[in-house]
Amino acid sequence: MTGILSYGIYVPAWRIARETIATAGGIFSAGGERSVAGWDEDSVTMAVEAGFNCIGDMDPGEIDAVYFATVTPPFREKQSSAFIAAALDLKNTARTYDITDTLRSSTQALQAAWNDVKSGTARKVLVVAADCRPAAPRSQEEQFYGDGAAAILLGEGAVIATIDGFATAANALPGVWRRETDRYPSSFDARFNKKCGFLQDVPTAISSLLSAAGLTVGNASKFVISVPDPAGTLEIARLLKLDMATQLEDLLFSQVGLTGSPHCLLLLSRALGKSKEGQYIVCANYGDGCDAVLIKTIAAADTITESGAGIINKKKLVRSYGRFSAIKEAAEPGSLRKQGNPSIVKYWRDQKWGLRRYGMRCNNCGTLQYPISICCLKCGAMDNHVDVRLSRRGKVFSYTHDLLLGPGCTESDGINPCTRAIVDLDDGCRIFIEMTDNVPEEVDIDVPVELSLRLLHEKGDFAVYGWRAKPDK
């Protein structure tokens, strides 16, 4: 059977209370918290995290294609999915696609991926969606938005759900836009976007989807409705006459915020986890019109839901608006300090260890080591090793909090230390690595850590991705 094999989500470790944003700006608080991508995270790094959580221990070599859906690709010209595929260690014959520019990119990617697996042009296809949307300081969006990612793996095998239909309601409404040179999204009027946008398009797409399948609203156990307004979801639910208590999937607004392209998949993963066998889920994704997807569950997958809940519940608070602004500013493309100009050729040449996270095991003395090098660091044997994909998890052997040199070898601000750790990975390989997402107090000898793909720096005016270690609790 062909269908959804697995799914995974990623929400950054950091949250900020909307009250903190509101107080700083002298504006209203929408309540709850929003997620905040760390300064070294972007849509690519978050997509990789969601991808890992989705594919788990599966052999990534079985994946024939990856679709990356986002409205915040780090490069205007350069394919993000190629980096994502490398970091996930997909084979280099895997097809890579970026689908961008609309919040519907995720459902469009899902449909394209579905077409691939149904037509047999690919056996397994990974859909990853991620966004890290900029918002103007003190704007409503700054509170509404959250950062996150979600991934779904489609293919043949032990599926947990099938996709039984797609429908679309297109709309050339101005809505929300961001031109090439715009720093933040613009829109005309939220009331206009609501009345002439999602209040029309979402019901239209859902009706079209259900009628094509010969179903009614009452036949679906869950509705996932992603629109750019938390109150709008409730209005649509009322229009559709849903049973609010059971049929409407929570928007995650109070814990995460509206994450953009990945949001409907994020909510879908929640709905899938809660569903029993043989139930229908309707997934509506608004953005320049609406896509609706009909999903029928084959088997429950509670364990994945638990890990998803863990990701959402595991959080650290950004305690001031100043810190939040500093994180967001650092996350702006090109804003990471860029002293120096290390050879970009090396980044390409060494991507097997740099992006794909391989070490090598010496055939002569057996030492597992990082990075890959021509001669063994222990015995000097030349060109006599096998490449081994390294474990993501390990323990701190020793560490320091460096206030002299910042992460990515940029000048430190002298206030926020860069934690550097010597880590013994579970497979016995030892690496020296920068830490991220940690507060100094969390780090000690033997503390467990997990490797995470991050934006290392932007020297040479290029986004250089590589591995950092984060606390693994």
Partner 1 sequence: MKKGIKDRVAIIGTGVTRFGELWDKDEKALLAEAVHTACGEAHVDLQKQVEAVWVGTQYTSSGIAGGAFTEALKVYGKPVTRCENFCATGMDAVKNAAYAVAAGIHDIVLACGVEKLMDQGSHGLPGLNEIHPLQTGTSMPAIFAPCAVRAFKQWGWSKEDLARVVVKNHHNGAKHPLAHFRKEVSLEVVINAPMISYPLGLYDCCAMSDGAAAVILTTPEIAREMIGPGNYVTIKGIGHSVYSLNPFNDPDFTGLSFPANLRAAKMAYDDAGITNPAKELDFGIVHDCFSINELLSMQDMGICKHGEAADMVRSGGTAIDGAFPVNPDGGLKCFGHPIGATGVRMICELTRQILGRAEGYQVKNARAGFAHNLGGPFTTSMITIVGTPDWEAGG
Contacts with partner 1, residue ranges (CB under 8 A): 339-344, 346-347, 350, 353-354, 367-371, 377-378, 397-405, 407-412, 417-418, 420-422, 424, 428-432, 434, 440, 445, 456-457, 459-460, 464, 466
Q: Is 193 exposed, middle or buried (0-12, 13-18, 19+ CB in 10 A)?
A: buried
Q: Do 64 and 122 form a contact (C-beta atoms < 8 A)? A: yes
Distance (Å, whole) CA 32 – CA 256: 9
Shortest distance (Å) from residue 473 CB to partner 1: 20
Shortest distance (Å) from residue 57 CB to partner 1: 24
Nearer to partner 1, 252 or 435 (CB): 435
Coil, helix or strand for 396? Answer: strand
Nearer to partner 1, 78 or 346 (CB): 346
Give the single-character DSSP code of 352. H
Closest by Cα among 242, 317, 245 to 34: 317
Nearer to partner 1, 156 or 411 (CB): 411
Contacts for 234 with CB less than 8 Å, ≥ 6 apart: 244, 248
Shortest distance (Å) from residue 423 CB to partner 1: 9
Nearer to partner 1, 74 or 408 (CB): 408
Report the residue count for the chain: 473
Shortest distance (Å) from residue 357 CB to partner 1: 11
Shortest distance (Å) from residue 37 CB to partner 1: 20
How far lies 262's CA from each of 26, 71, 128, 194, 330, in Å?
30, 10, 8, 20, 22
Residues 286-323 as b or e (16 or more Cβ within 10 Å = b): bbbbbbbbbbbbbebbeebbeebeebbeebbebeebeb
Q: Do 240 and 328 form a contact (C-beta atoms < 8 A)? A: no
Nearer to partner 1, 124 or 356 (CB): 356
Distance (Å, whole) CA 449 – CA 447: 7
Nearer to partner 1, 319 or 349 (CB): 349
Nearer to partner 1, 434 or 450 (CB): 434
Nearer to partner 1, 274 or 337 (CB): 337
Nearer to partner 1, 204 or 419 (CB): 419
Contacts for 239 with CB less than 8 Å, ≥ 6 apart: 199, 203
Closest by Cα among 412, 353, 418 to 387: 353
Shortest distance (Å) from residue 391 CB to partner 1: 13
Shortest distance (Å) from residue 40 CB to partner 1: 11
Residues 51-76 as b or e (16 or more Cβ within 10 Å = b): bbbbbeeeebebbbbbbbbbbbbbee
Q: Do 16 and 143 form a contact (C-beta atoms < 8 A)? A: no
Distance (Å, whole) CA 252 – CA 434: 32
Nearer to partner 1, 52 or 399 (CB): 399
Shortest distance (Å) from residue 449 CB to partner 1: 14
Q: Do 126 and 65 form a contact (C-beta atoms < 8 A)? A: yes
Question: Which residues make beta-bridge pairs with 35?
Answer: 15
Shortest distance (Å) from residue 464 CB to partner 1: 5
333 prior amide bond cis, ω within 30: no
Shortest distance (Å) from residue 204 CB to partner 1: 49
Q: Do 167 and 205 form a contact (C-beta atoms < 8 A)? A: yes
Residue with tokens 């493309």: 333
Shortest distance (Å) from residue 290 CB to partner 1: 42
Nearer to partner 1, 158 or 439 (CB): 439
